[in-house]
Amino acid sequence: MKLLVCISKAPDTTSKISFTDGDTKFDENGVQYIVNPYDEWYALVRALELTEANGGTVTTITVGTAADDPTIRKALAIGATDAVRVDAEAKDPYFVAKQIAEYAKANNFDIILTGKETINYNGAQIGSMLAEMLDQPFVSLAQKLEVSGNTATLERDVPGGAEVIEVNTPFVLSAAKGMAEQRIPNMRGIMAARTKALNVIPAVETAELTSIVSYSMPAAKAECKYIDADSMTELVELLHNEAKVI
Amino acid sequence: MSVLVFIETKGKISKAAREAVTYGSKIGPTTVITYGDADAASLGSIGDNGATKVLVCRNLSEGNDQQLTKLITAAANNCGADVIIVSQDQLGKAVAPRVAASMEAGHVSGAIALPDTANGFIVKTNVFSGKAFANVSVSSSKKVISLLPNSISPESTGGNAEVEEFNTDLGSAGITVKEMKTQGEGVLLPEAELVVSAGRGLKGPENWGMVEDLANTLGAATACSRPVADIGWRPHHEHVGQTGVAIRPNLYIAAGISGAIQHLAGVNGSKTIVVINTDSEAPFFKAADYGIVGDAFEVLPKLNEAMRTFKASQN
């Protein structure tokens, strides 16, 4: 089984979010980057479990600069076979998907796994775009994945319930919570990651279709209004007359 | 600019669908594309939200991203749409980027406001899990926008749309749904305007009756925090937060949830937040509009009683 896992870096979930350069750039000062949790905990770890059980390889792919290498090494330390970095700034989702699609077309993977979204841009776009560019089925927000021969069975929550899906390889999926459990790399993995291949390849030319021109922060919340536990009628009145939500 | 809006029309036409049509009609003349067997009268009623025409594909009964992409792309070409609008729900998340890739269109995911066209085409979206906004400029001639629910109010124009059948080669679905496991009949969480949620403070699944009672009184959906879903007190599809569902209801009532940053990431788009917690230091109070320092076991029944009295007075 030949698997490709899309890996992106993201600021640690507890990072303070602020912007610089007239609110046009994310302020990286003091920010610790991690492997985007959905890419790591769910997509990568499940890919490793499958190849450990059935044989095969797990390649990671990242569109980014040398600044991404530490997070790519982390993915190798967790157990990926090798890694590819498309050497370019991740300009916009279409650009990123195009780079990965070009690489995937030349290398015939059975399954391409992405996280359900990154925790910084929350776009949830790459998997779906990739599937279209490769003309493959796409299973979004998958929470379970089993593979038998060239058939995969997946489960996901849908509003009000869950569904079981069957799909033939090759296909693309985005992984959500439930897929696998986080793995902490051990010393052997970290040592091995140093000598694993991290192949840097050039980007293909692609138009930039969107760009972020500025950021802003939500208006500060007004102070919380405390209501006595015995005055629920007052709360109901406030929700009706002040907040106007009931 | 000419606009195409994709909506689902199974059963009752959802509020999210009406929001998307209203949003589209504020950008330009709007055509709707949908599928399934909804009757012509109910499809025509989408004109009330500003659509002039509704295209309906009758040879598709279950939506999937691969076939819907073919349908939406063909409809966009048919009506010469510059802007395509999709609701940012579970299906929309899978379909919209695919449509964008197929048309080489710039895609804005999670829009929360109308585009600013004074200088280009700039759309405000949620980023950093609701902790910030980004203004995204789209430079391609074709544009795809996925709209977060509850970002705009549906408006009524009194109009009626012309309904036309629209069929095209949809190819295969690619995936097969083998089994649907539906759980309960209540209000669906992602579309709910009112949500009552609870966490570990409720001490056990047997105590959820008072959460459900309040939800029933309000006509609200029920939700829960991550630990509660993880230990199996509540089904996973009720889990709101960073790794669960992100929701944007008008009212979010949280009982016995401390308000970890990962939980807030799923609910910080709520218009009004009410927090009930015994611990006055719980971080959730910082994000709350109304706070009650008290025991959920006492507060929830009292709140339910007050709500019932209020509801009765409204009728």
Residue A241 carries which DSSP code? I
Q: Which residue intervals of chain B bear CATH 3.40.50.620?
A: 3-165
| Residue A246 covered by a domain | no
pLDDT tens readout for residues B206-245: 999 999 999 999 999 999 999 999 999 998 889 999 888 8
| Residue A172 covered by a domain | yes
What's the confidence (pLDDT) of residue B257? 98
Residue to test with chain A: of B108, B137, B290, most A Cβ within 10 A: B290
**CATH number assigned to the domain comprising residue A184:** 3.40.50.620
What's the confidence (pLDDT) of residue B182? 79
- Average pLDDT over every residue of B304-314: 95
Total domain count, chain A: 1
ipTM confidence: 0.94
Q: How many contacts, defined by CB atoms under 8 Å, are there between A and B?
A: 263
| Residue A237 covered by a domain | no
Q: Which residue intervals of chain B bear CATH 3.40.50.1220?
A: 189-314
CATH architecture designation of domain B189-314: 3-Layer(aba) Sandwich (3.40)
Look up the CATH number of domain B3-165.
3.40.50.620
| Residue A200 covered by a domain | yes
What's the confidence (pLDDT) of residue A146? 97
Looking at every residue in chain B, the average pLDDT score rounds to 95
Residue to test with chain A: of B123, B136, B262, B276, most A Cβ within 10 A: B136
Instruction: Give the percent of chain A with pLDDT over 90.
Output: 92
What's the confidence (pLDDT) of residue A116? 95
What's the confidence (pLDDT) of residue B184? 65
A167 lies in which domain range? 2-216
Cross-strand bridge partners of residue A67: none
Residue B254's pLDDT band (cuts 50, 70, 90)? very high
Instruction: Give the percent of chain A with pLDDT over 70.
Output: 100
- Decide if B8 contacts B19 (C-beta within 8 A): no
User: Would you tell me which residues 4-63 of chain B have a C-beta closer than 8 angstroms to some C-beta of chain A?
Assistant: none
| Residue A96 covered by a domain | yes
| Residue A127 covered by a domain | yes
Contact status of B117 with chain A (Cβ, < 8 Å): no
pLDDT tens readout for residues B130-161: 889 999 999 999 999 999 988 999 999 999 99
What's the confidence (pLDDT) of residue A124? 94
CA distance A125 to B94: 8
User: Helices A126-134 and B65-79: crossing angle, nearest 10°?
Assistant: 80
Partners of A12 on chain B (C-beta within 8 Å) are none
- Average pLDDT over every residue of B238-267: 94
Query: B224, B248, B247: which is closest to B236 by C-alpha?
Result: B224
3-state helix, strand, coil in chain B (%, to 5): 35, 25, 40
The CA distance from A195 to the nearest CA of chain B, in Å, is 33
What's the confidence (pLDDT) of residue B183? 67
| Residue A230 covered by a domain | no
The CA distance from A212 to the nearest CA of chain B, in Å, is 4
- Decide if B210 contacts B222 (C-beta within 8 A): no
User: Would you tell me which residues 162-221 of chain A have a C-beta closer than 8 angstroms to some C-beta of chain B?
Assistant: 162-167, 171, 176-178, 207-218, 221
User: Would you tell me which residues 185-204 of chain B have a C-beta closer than 8 angstroms to some C-beta of chain A?
Assistant: 186, 188-191, 193-194
pLDDT tens readout for residues A201-240: 999 999 999 999 999 998 888 899 999 999 999 999 999 9
B182 Cβ neighbours under 8 A, 6+ residues apart? A160, A161
Q: Which of A56-65, A156-165, B212-221, B246-255 has the lowest mean pLDDT?
A: A156-165
pLDDT tens readout for residues A51-80: 999 999 999 999 999 999 999 999 999 999
Residue count of chain A: 246
Instruction: Concatenate the DSSP letters of all residues of A69-138 into one string.
Output: HHHHHHHHHHT-SEEEEEES----HHHHHHHHHHHHHHH--SEEEEES--TTT----HHHHHHHHHT--E
CA distance B20 to B3: 11
